[in-house]
Amino acid sequence: MSINTMKPKKKKMATEDLIFTIFNTTIMVLFTIVTLYPILNTLAISFNEGSDAVRGGIHLLPRVFSLKSYKTVIKTEGIITGAKITVLRTVIGTLSSLIANALLSFILSRKRFLFKSGLSLFWIITMYANGGLIPTMVLFRSLNLIGTFWVYVIPGMVSAFNVMVMRTYMAGIPDSLEESAQLEGAGYMTVFLKIISPLCKPVYATIALFVAVYHWNSWFDAMLYNRTNTKYTTLQYELQKLLASVTAQGQGGGGGAASQTDATVATVIPITIRSAATILTMAPIIALYPFLQRYFVTGLTIGGVKE
Amino acid sequence: MSLSESTSRRRKKRANGVEFTAKEFKRQWILIAIAAVYVIYGIIFYYLPLAGWIMAFQNYKYKTGITGSKFVGLAKFQFLFSDAKFLQVIRNTFCMGALNLIFSTVMAIVFAILLNEIKNIWGKKIVQTISYLPHFLSWIVVCGLVHDALSSTGIINELLVKFGIIDSPFQFFASKPWFWPLVVLTNLWKETGWNAIIYLAAITSIDPALYESASIDGAGRFQKMWYVTLPSIRPTIMILLLMNIGNVLNAGFELQYILGNGVIQSVSRTIDIYVLDWAINGRNMDFSLGTAAGIFKTLVALILIVAGNTIAKKTGDERLF
């Protein structure tokens, strides 16, 4: 009897499973399309001829192929300076930030350090309370940081969140390694450079990548602190100016908060040029992403949220 | 989370038997010296701006600076709360922040659960890798992509016209009722995959025996999701909600700044944009008002964190501190 009743139930489960699998696969495929389409579409438009692209209707492939937009973009002065400064700030900013965060994490993860809890608390507070935009601006002005390159590097060098992630990782390294090195006469700096740091490569890589992406994508600090000083503009800020010309004009308004403050571009930049600039700006991230993405995920699972 | 941890560490230190002796000081002088550098750095870049809050109680003038400006008590705050524009930006910030929090949490959980149900390992890996790619694109790029997709020649309008839902392209960015949904959707596009990573990690660590015994009891796929998966990841959900609740008022700057425009500014402007206006908008610069608005935001964020934490404590869930 039990066999008889089991059979139809199993069959019902199997069809239910099949329906669910089809439904789920469809959702996942749709999700992937929605994620990738805007990027691929912009890529196609960027390779299309300018006046033809205005007609619209370009999807995944350019209709009239042309490299002219890219040629125009890489000749634009702001873009060239922006690219140089962005590369520079990404390299210098990432290196200095990595060293600064690692050293603080090292100190905070030493079990014998006398001011451990005090120093931890000092930095944890910075995660919750911050002075805000205007006091920070006033401070930077009195430190003469405004209008310089260093305003990108120095203020954000130490981040309490990154320090907490690194500290957790370092605290997991057995003390015996440190102790035996110290017995052989190694000082704290030798322990940091020769014992701890080599073991921390994965977490260093993760933090370095996060900081690098942050620097690559920054634009707001460029707008706030180097708006009048085009020498230190960044790539993303230049892109923002290109795109803002459309937001302001396209909607026929006098410009909102965004365009009121920096609507210096009077003419609408063609969509192909904007697309080419967008693609160039995200190209390094997309190109490196497949190789580096696993580091990003390990970073999340190492410290942050698990703790 | 972090605070309770530091107190437990303190106890551990005593147990370690490290005393404040001259010998110990000498032994770790280099740690103390470097720590001192970090304290100086922290005071300058994190604590001095807090001291700048004093500007909110002054009539700050650039020429006279903080030391020479006249104190006006709470006059700036009084002005703020009688400014209809300020009340409007509070509403905008709060509503967009709350909508973002709710939708991004729900979507991330749903996506993580569905992704977990995919049996093909390669398919799962590919979908997941693609899903968090947008997290690494800047808001400038993302807003550019969204703008193109929703423009009059963009794919959305093309599809809507093709299927006869509308006759002519719809101007999404000139529509007030559409702005908040656009912000939520853009945020979902950028962050769903990324937010799902943590939930997916939590789901993967659920004991398979729980699912097996549920199957034996006759639970179907959806019953297992509802009675096993969701309760198992409840602590993760709670802690993430708590961490993000303080950010509700922070959830509104870049996106609104880039996508907003004059026509719809009554729904697009947020507290941060309001502050920014007082900070850099030429003629109407008023650092004192901007600082006061910033203080309001920080205090509300703190209240939200503490309130969320208290609620979590009462319901017996995970908490931050």
A45: which chain B residues are within 8 Å (Cβ-Cβ)?
148
Give the confidence band of A306 by pLDDT, cuts at 50, 70, 90.
Answer: very low
Higher pLDDT, A265 or A271: A271
User: Does one domain contain both A191 and A179?
Assistant: yes
| Cα gap A150→A226, rounded to integer Å | 11
Surface of B (77-96) touching A: CB under 8 A:
none
Same domain, A57 and A94: no
**Distance set, CA A86 to CA A78, B144, B155 (Å):** 12, 19, 32
Q: Which residue has the higher pLDDT, A11 or B252?
A: B252
Q: Tell me how far apart the alpha carbons of residues A264 and A243 are, in angstroms, rounded to a whole number.
A: 12
Domain boundary among the residues A66, A84, A118 is at: A66
Give the pLDDT band (50/70/90) at residue B240. Answer: confident
CA-to-CA separations, A276 to A50, A239, A283, B212, in angstroms, rounded? 11, 10, 10, 53
- Copy the structure tokens of residue A160: 């309490």
In the predicted model, is pLDDT for residue B18 greater than 80?
no
Whether residues A58 and A127 share a domain: the answer is no
Residues of B in contact with A120 (CB under 8 A): 2, 6, 9
Q: Both A136 and A40 in a single domain?
A: no
- CATH of residue A87: 1.10.3720.10
Kindly tell me if the per-residue pLDDT of B315 is higher than 80: no
Q: Are residues A7 and A128 in the same domain?
A: no
A132 and B302 within 8 Å at the Cβ level: the answer is no
| A76, A136: one domain | yes
Element containing residue A46 per DSSP (H, E)? helix A2-46
DSSP notation for A208-253: HHHHHHHHHH--HHHHHHSSS-GGG--HHHHHHHHHHHHHHHHT-S
- Is the Cβ pair B144, A290 closer than 8 Å? no
DSSP B209-226: HHHHHHHHTT--HHHHII
B144 touches chain A (CB under 8 A): yes
Is the pLDDT score of B17 beyond 80?
no
The stretch A106-126 carries a mean pLDDT of 92
At B276-285, the pLDDT tens digits run 988 887 667 8
Which residue, among B14, B85, B140, B155, would best test binding to A if mutated, counting the most A CBs under 10 Å from its CB?
A: B140
A198 in the same domain as A105: yes
- Closest chain B residue to A143, measured at CA: B44
Residues belonging to chain A: 307
Residue A194 in any domain: the answer is yes
In a domain, A174, yes or no: yes
- Name the domain boundary from A66, A93, A117: A66
The answer as to whether A307 is a domain residue is: no
Within 146-205 of A, beta carbons closer than 8 Å to B belong to 154-155, 157-158, 164, 187-189
Q: For residue range A152-202, what is the model confidence (pLDDT) as tens digits?
A: 999 999 999 999 989 988 998 998 998 899 899 899 999 999 999 999 988
A86 shares its domain with A194: yes
Cβ–Cβ gap B18/A112 under 8 Å:
yes
Residue A265 belongs to some domain of the structure: yes
Is A76 a residue whose pLDDT tops 90? no
Count up the domains in chain A and report the number.
2
A27: in domain: yes
End of a domain among A66, A90, A108? A66
Q: Which of B34, B155, B302 sits opposite A41 (nearest CB)?
A: B155
Domains of chain B in start order, with CATH, are 15-73 (no CATH), 78-315 (1.10.3720.10)
Confidence of residue B251 (pLDDT cuts 50, 70, 90): low
- Facing residues of B58 across strands? B71
On whether both A81 and A55 belong to a single domain, the answer is: no
pLDDT at B16: 55
Integer Cα distance of A213 and A207 in angstroms: 10
A16 versus B264: the higher-pLDDT residue is B264
Q: Can you give the residue range of the structural domain that contains A42?
A: 2-66
**A25 and A159 part of one domain:** no
Q: What is the ipTM of this complex?
A: 0.86
pLDDT at A245 over 50: yes
For residues A255 and A140, membership in a common domain is answered with yes
Answer yes or no: is pLDDT of A249 > 60: no
